[in-house]
Every structure is written in C-alpha cells, then in structure tokens.
Structure 1
Amino acid sequence: MGKFYFKKILFQEGWKKNVKISTDNNGTITEIIENFEGKDYETEVQLAIPGIPNAHSHAFQYAMAGLTENHSESRSSNFWTWRNEMYNLALNIDPDGLQAIATMLYSEMLKNGYTSVAEFHYLHHDKNGSKYSNVGELGERLLIAAKEAGIHITLVPIFYNKGGFQKKYEAEQKRFISYNSEEYIHLFEKTLETAEKYKSKIGIGVHSIRAVEEKMLGEINDYNKDKFPFHLHIAEQIKEVNESKKYLGQKPVEWLYNNFKIGENHHLVHATHLTVKETKLITSNNSNVVLCPITEGNLADGVFNFNLFQEQKGNWCIGSDSNVGLSAFEEIRLLDYTNRLKTNKRDTFKNSESANSGEIAFQAIYNNGHKAMGNKKSKYFEIGGSLDFLDIDHNQPLIHNSSEKNLLNTIIYSTDIRSIKNTYTNGKKRGNDINLRYKMITKYNSAIKRIKNY
C-alpha cells in the first residue's frame, strides 16, 4: 500500500491543495481525500501533474535517433530516403537487441514524463522473414521491456501486407509481412494472449492504406468490431496522397471513410495532408488524430492544418513516433509554434470554452491519448485507476513564481526535462535505481554494436 500527500496537484477541475491519495499494493488508487490535514502518509510531493500518454511509438527506431542527419551532397534527402535507412536498421535487430533498445527507450520516456505508450509494432519476423516459433516473439520482447522500465504499454501489432499501392512488398519489408487477414489475426490473437499474461493492453491496426489490400483492411475492421483501439498511418506524405488519388480515385482519408465504418475508436496517425472535406469526415465521426510534431518535422512530412481541425472540435493527442525526441512538452510547443508561424496568431489551441493554451492542450493529449491506449479514463486521478504522476520541481524559479492560472503553461512552455524531479507509475518511483540503469545501458550498448552498419 502507498500513502501520498500532495501539497498541490492537478485535477481536471484545476489545481487542488492538500490532497491525500492512497493505493493498494498494485498502485491502484483506493482513496482520495481533499483538504487533508493529518500526518498519516509516507510520501510528500510538493507539486504534481498527471503522467502523460504517448499514443504512437516505433521503439526500434530509437536506435537511429540522430544518425540520419548527415545528408548526401548529390541528392535530396526526404522521408523516402530516411525510410531506406530505417529498413536497414530493421533488418539487423535481433530479439535481445529489440528488448534492450525498447527498455532503454521506455526508461527515457519515463524521465521525459510519459507514463504510458502505444507501441505501433510491425517488426514481427526473423531476419530472413520467417516466423519465430513464438509468432509474437518480438511483441513479447516489447512487453518485457515495458515491464522492466515500469511504463504502461498498449501493444498494437500491425498488419503489413504489401509494399505500396498495387505493389508487392519489398525484400527490405520481409520482417513486417502477414500474407493475408487470417495470418494477421492469428498473430494478433497470440499477441493478445501474451499481453494478458503481462497484464498489458492491446490494440489492433494496419500500417496504412497503401500497405494493406482494400479487402483485407475491411476484414480486419469487421473482425475488430470496435473492441480494440484501431490504429493506422494515413496521409503523412504528399506522395501517398497523390498515389491514393491515382490508384483509388480518392484521397486517403476520403477513401477510408467512404469505404469502411470509421468512428471514435479509430486513431489516425499523422493525417498531415487533409482537405476541408476530409477534416470534417474525421471530426464529424469523432475519430482521433495522433500528431507527432517532432518526427513530422524531422521527416519533412508537412504541417497539419490544426486551426481548421480545432474549429471543427477535432480530437487529437500526441506521440513520439520515431523517438528522435522524447519530450511531450516539446511536442505541444512545436505543434503550437508551427501554427503560430503559419497563421500569425498566438491562440492556436483556443476553443469555445477556454483560451488557456496549456490546459486545453494537456486535457486533449491526456483524454484522447488514453482513448488511443484503450483506457476508459474520465479523470486525471480516480479511484480504481493507477497512480501515475510527475513530481514537478516547485523550486524551479519560473514555476515557483507562477500563479495557479499560469502554472501549467509555465511547466509546458517554459521548462524542460529538468523540471521533472521524478516520474511515478502505479505509485512507484521509476528510473532511480542506478544499478538497474547501468545494466540497461550496458545491454543497449551491446545491442547497438551487434547491428550491422550502425
């Protein structure tokens, strides 16, 4: 059991002072007492905010963070040249290496304020493209990594069937491929059994409309019946949009909604290049868009039309995607500042209910991020939920001198990772075991050495 006394903590209704939260042995909240005046507690926290959900991650790509910025002098560098380097990495990771990379990554996510992650997982087979005896071997390694690091994970095994519109898969994609819906569903159901063993959640999804046959996409959507959160990349690159028009006769989002039942349980990653009509299709069906501004900027994807989306009261959250950057606060800032530069206005997140940028953004990434995880959370802290929070340094000068009205804005817009003293999941402090971290780094370094050409 745990007993925590918070001098100031952020609830959905706003900041509250003198709150006691108790948990059971699993870190599940059993009691919340406001206006607490007693001394029956074990841990005192001066200032706390809820842990942040990371709604989109490719763990293995963390191993190439910072390694793709030395560009060719003779040709242009773009998403597609970056993808070739990513494939080279994917072909050379073994199971132990994936586990080591993911454990290191998830530990770093925790330090940056993420307490849960939706892992968009399509690295399924061995280096030859053959199935492991445990078809969900690599997915299980990600579950183990999350458990070792102490982060909540929603594992999303991904259906990847071909190399593009009317194009067979490439040799570099052989570790991703399921040949038909039945094969993917078998992988999904085996992964579901494994996830239950680790008490983790699971999602379902397809890589993109270009990477799965139309008939099979429909079969997976019908199989799911909105039981699990459904994830897919869409309209990330202009090339994809143009090819969709050429081969399908419609732009990606328009085609998706015109051909399948798509609703609030569908989580569209990126959706960078949308028409007004497509934006309305997403918002009117209450679907969720997962934005990854750091990665989208790094890969030169383009700029999401956030202002139109916000006017339509669209649902959105954030993800770290390629994991070239791990700060949730930076994701929010980059999304906001990019649109400020585009519109010459400073109130990107303003809606009909509020104009407090930090509060609006935080509530969006929390509520919609947890929907993407398959979590039915309605409050930041509630009985029956896990106690996940960030212990914020209240002595940081900007934070210390901020008013309650501006406090969350100060944390998000004016500080960095140093303002997060500690991260807790299930009521446990994470990342402070020096010996465990040394072992983690040693395994990570060993994994990187085994990857050819890196």
Structure 2
Amino acid sequence: MTVLHAAQALTPTGWQADVRLTLEAGRFSAVEAGKAPEPGDVRVAVLVPGLPNLHSHAFQRGMAGLAERRGPSADTFWTWRETMYRFALRMTPDEAEAVAAQAYMEMLESGFTRVGEFHYLHHAPDGRPYANVAEMAERIAAAAALTGLRLTLLPVLYRWSNFGGAAPTEGQRRFVSDLDLFARMVDESRAAVRDLPGATLGVAPHSLRAVTPGDLAAAVALAEGGPVHIHAAEQVREVEECLAWSGARPVQWLLDQAGLDPRWCLIHATHMNPDETARFAGSGAVAGLCPVTEASLGDGIFPAPGFVAAGGRYGVGTDSNVLVGAADELRQLEYAQRLGHRQRNVLAAPGASTGRALFTVALAGGIQALGAEGGGLAVGAPADCVALDGADPALIARQGDSLLDGWIFAAGSRAVDAVWVDGRQVVAGGRHVAREAVGARFAAVLRRLMVE
C-alpha cells in the first residue's frame, strides 16, 4: 500500500487541495480532500491522471531523425515510408523488444500511462512467419511488462499495397498476412497480453489501401467487441486514390460502409470535408490525432474546430515516435490550429483554459479508443497517475488549470516528476526506475543498426 499526498490534484469533480490518495492492489482505495499529510505519505505538488497514448509504432523509435535529409525531389510521407521500410526489414525480435522498451520508458517519463500499439511488424526479415506467429507481439508485451506501461495491443491486418487489392511490395513483406494467419496471430496475441495488468486487445485493419472490404469485415469480427483502429485520410494522395477506387473519400467510405461506432478509432482523419467531419463526430468514434508525427510528415492539419463543435471525441498518440511526449502532442495539436486559423486558444471554450480542454478531451478519448478502464483519481479506479514538479519554472505559484497550461505550453516532459501505474511507481525524479538498463540495451541495438 502507498499513500500519496498532493497539494493539488485533478479529480473527476475538479481541482482539490490537500488530497490524500491510498493506492492498494492496483487501485485507489481512498481519495480524501482537505487532509493534512501524515507521516509516511509520499508528498507531491500536483497530481493528475495518466494520459493514454492511442497510437504508436514502437519500432520506429529506432529511426527517429534518420529521414531528415532532403532527397532529389520534394520529400513527402511516401518518400519517408521507403526509409521506414528499409529500417523495418533489419530488426530482430530482440532488437524490436529493446527499441519498444526505450519508447515505452520515454512515454512513461512524459506522462503517458497506457499505449495503443498499432502492431504490424509481424514476420521475419525474409517475410516468412516465425514458428511462433505471435513472436513479435510477445516482444511488445515483454517491453510493456518491463517498463510498466499499460498496453492495448492492436495486431494489424495488412494484405495489399493499394486500393482494390494491389499486390504488396517487397518492402512490406514483414507486415503482410492472409486472413487465416491473421486470425491465428490475434488468438496468440490475446494470450500474450493475458497476464499484463489491465491489458486489452483490439484489431487494426491497417488502412483502406491495405485491406479490401471483405478483409475489413473479417478483421472487425476478430476484435470480439474490442477496439478497432484504422489509418484514414492521412494524405491527399490517399484521398484521391480512394475516390478513384470507390467513388468515395476514405472517411466517407467508412461512415457509409463500415458502421462506425464508439469502438472505432480513425487514425489521423486529416483530410475531411465538412460533411465527413460532422458525420464522423456524430458516430461516437474517436479521432486518433498524432500532431507531432503529422507535422513531421507534412500530412496537414486536422479540422479540429468543426469536429469539436459537432461533439467529436479525440485522443493523441505518438505514432512514429520521432519525439515522445504527452505535452508535446497536446501543444502541437493546438499550435497547428493556431497556425491554420491565425487565432489563439482555438480549442478552448470562451474564457476557459486551453490546457484543461486539451487534457480533458484527450484523456476521455484515449480511454475510449483503447478499451481501457477509466475513472481518474477516484475510489475504485486504476491507480495510474502523474505527479508534476511544482518547482518547475513553468508551474511555480500556479493553481488549478493554469498548472496544465504551464505543463503543456511551457514545460513539457521536464515537469513530470513521478508516475505510478497499477499502484507501482515507475518514474521517480523524472527518470524511469529502469532507465539505465533499458537505455543501455537500446544504445547497443542502435550501434548495430546504424553501421549495417
């Protein structure tokens, strides 16, 4: 049992002062406001719920910064993808686990307490399935277990290279599975996460480029009621090719043909017209926004004001893991809107805190999209929480929502002091408890990958 005393804590009823929280058997067994600290309490300045990271490709953490050299023509998502394919073809299972552990450690140090792993690096480098078809899924689960990050595992169905069932390319050979093999991987992946506290399993048809309508229906059935994630409308070229294939835009097609509901999460959904935006918001599905990656890849800007005004739900993810930070994603989400609309505080209601608006919506949207148990800092809820350093220059003398504004817009990950997941402390003094070992293993992997 651990007892925390927070000078300020963001509870489901709002900010409260002098809050004592008892963490027992992985949950909050008591949350009492207006209480003085007692001997033995772990005292923190500011306590907030941990954020969900609803979209990650963990292996890409190893190639962060490697695609920043301009090619002979204009660089785009499609040229970046070729670099990613080359990198993906080189990693062994041990190396993939080490890279995932580094990414997950950094997520925890930044204030994320759960990840949705959109997992498509399935097979051996030559494209043949491993004898254990869930080998790579088990490595993801091992990285989550080592670091203490809660996991929603989303095995990806990836069958084709483009709309209409075009044959996959050589660069995609580690990703591609037929339906029978994918069904086995889902079953084995479910077993791989069974013993992880609070873990959930969903499925991820990669995109309408990579699955046919029949494939999509088969994958959704395998989710057994769990989350369904899919990339949609990330790129203008994707929208154009989807129109040529089906006569509909990607989000429009999914709305008309796939029966979107609150189990679904559309990753990016960057390029929508106003009708798609309103209908998507009304479906109850979540928009999985990855603002740092979307900026890195030159994707475009999500139509957030119209989506939010229509009641849309969103969460944030780190996607390519080129930069891992909860505050960074929320800040970039708002800053992109400011650049696009030439206004400030775009995603807040009049007179309200932008940091609070971003945090509240991303918390709820991420929990929904990952099929996770929520509850925040409340009795009976999972004991997942983040302590911020009240002595950080951006947080000194702040109260209430201004703490979130300071964290997101002025401090970032440096303000994260401690993190508890499932009642266990995994970050102390801003550093993961296994940072040295995880970091050393990651460094050894990168030294090999960078010279080959």
TM-score bracket for the superposition, by shorter chain length: over 0.9
Q: TM-score, normalised by structure 1?
A: 0.94
1:390 lines up with 2:386 in the alignment = yes
Partner in structure 1 of residue 415 of structure 2? 419
CA distance in 2, matches of 1:307, 1:29: 35
Secondary structure of 1:5's counterpart equals strand
Query: Which of 400, 403, 414 is 1:404 aligned to?
Result: 400
Inter-partner Cα distance in structure 2 for 1:64 and 1:154 = 23
Contact 1:56–1:119 (CA under 8 A) maintained in structure 2: yes
Aligned counterpart in structure 2 of residue 335 of structure 1, from 333, 336, 351: 333
Q: Deviations over 1:196-248 (max 9, x none)?
A: 133422121210011011111122224435x1011010000111100000011
Does the alignment pair 1:373 with 2:370? yes
Are the equivalent residues in 2 in contact too, given 1:205–1:230 (CA < 8 A)?
Answer: yes
Give the Cα–Cα distance (whole angstroms) in 1 for the partners of residues 36 and 230 of structure 2: 48
How far apart, in 1, do the equivalents of 2:433 and 2:234 lie? 41
| 1:154 matched to 2:152 | yes
Pairing partner for 1:137 from 132, 135, 138: 135
* Deviation, structure 1 residue 38: 5.9
- Residue aligning to 1:20: 20
Unaligned 5+ segments in structure 2 are: none
Question: Which residue of structure 1 lines up, in the alignment, with residue 258 of structure 2?
Answer: 260
Shift of 1:309: 1.0
Cα 1:179/1:434, change in 2 over 3 Å? closer
Q: Distance in 1 between matches of 2:206 and 2:113?
A: 24
Query: Displacement, 1:28?
Result: 1.9
Q: Deviation at 1:451? A: 2.7
Q: Quick one: distance in 2 between partners of 1:452 and 1:87?
A: 15
Question: How far, CA to CA, are the matches of 1:271 and 1:197 in structure 2?
Answer: 33
| Structure 2 residue identity aligned to 1:43 | V
> C-alpha separation between the residues in 2 aligned to 1:350 and 1:419?
22
Q: Residue type matched to 2:16 in 1? A: K
| Structure 1: gaps spanning 5 or more residues | none
SS of alignment partner, residue 46 of structure 1: strand
> For residue 358 of structure 1, what is the amino acid of its counterpart?
G
SS of corresponding position for 1:36: coil
What's the offset of the Cα at 1:131?
Answer: 1.3
2:101 is aligned to: 103
Bigger mean CA deviation after superposition, 394-403 or 368-377: 394-403
> How far off is 1:435 after superposition?
8.5
Separation of aligned partners in 2, 1:294 and 1:369: 17
Q: 1:41 to 1:328 in 2, by over 3 A?
A: same
Contact 1:3 1:40 in 2 (8 A): no
Structure 1 residue 120, shift from structure 2 partner:
0.4
Distance 2:337 2:37 in 1: 47
Aligned positions of 1:49-64 closer than 5 A: 49-64=48-63
Number of matched pairs: 448
Go from structure 1 to structure 2 and tell me whether the alpha carbon gap of 1:278 and 1:434 turns closer, same or farther (over 3 Å shift).
Answer: closer
Deviation, structure 1 residue 122: 0.4
Superposed CA offset, 1:31-52 (max 9, x none): 2222223625431112212211
Q: Tell me the equivalent position of 2:33.
A: 34
Rounded Cα–Cα distance in structure 1 between residues aligned with 2:314 and 2:401: 24
Q: Give, in whole Å, the separation in 2 of the partners of 1:334 and 1:398.
A: 18
The match for 2:170 is: 171
Partners in 1 of 2:285 and 2:432 — Cα distance?
42
2:190 matches 1:192: yes
CA distances 1:121-155 after superposition (whole Å, capped 9, x unpaired): 00111111111121111011011111111111111
CA–CA separation in structure 2 for the residues paired with 1:405 and 1:39: 27
CA distance in 2, matches of 1:405, 1:417: 17
Residues of 2 paired with 1:391 and 1:220: CA distance? 39
CA drift at 1:324: 0.6
Q: CA deviation at 1:403?
A: 3.5
Q: Which amino acid aligns with 2:23?
A: T
What's the % identity of the aligned pairs?
A: 31
Task: Tell me if 1:428 matches 2:428.
Answer: no
Q: RMSD across aligned C-alpha pairs, in angstroms? A: 1.8
